[in-house]
Amino acid sequence: METKAKIRQFFERSLQRTDLPDDENIFAAGLVNSLFAMQLVLFVESEFGFSTDNDDLVIDNFSSINAIASLVDRKLGVTA
């Protein structure tokens, strides 16, 4: 399963939303709280097999499906 599909599936399960656009800012839309943000970080680390550094833990890296997929690709050294 591709990176975005895995992330989308997590959001669908967690937020009960199947209509979330890949570029929607989940924080600006008020879809998440601080507890969910931590669950999201833990999901990304466990699903994709890397640890986030303090520099990675900024809202911009977790603000949308696209942003999270970009973070995963950078951490895993994937090039487009």
Domain residue spans in the chain? 1-11+33-80
Average pLDDT over residues 2-13: 96
Per-residue confidence (pLDDT) for residue 80, from 0 to 100? 60
**What is the C-alpha separation between 54 and 51, in angstroms, rounded?**
10
Q: How confident is the model at residue 9 (pLDDT cuts 50, 70, 90)?
A: very high
The interaxial angle of helices 34-48 and 3-15, nearest 10 deg, is: 140
Average pLDDT over residues 7-14: 96
Distance set, CA 67 to CA 26, 56 (Å): 11, 11
Q: pTM for the complete prediction? A: 0.92
* Dihedral angle computed from the Cα positions of residues 42, 43, 47 and 51, in that order, rounded to the nearest 10 degrees: -20
- Which tens digits make up the pLDDT trace of 23-78? 999 999 999 999 999 999 999 999 999 999 999 999 999 999 999 999 999 999 97
Per-residue confidence (pLDDT) for residue 71, from 0 to 100? 98
Single-letter amino acid code for the residue at 70: S
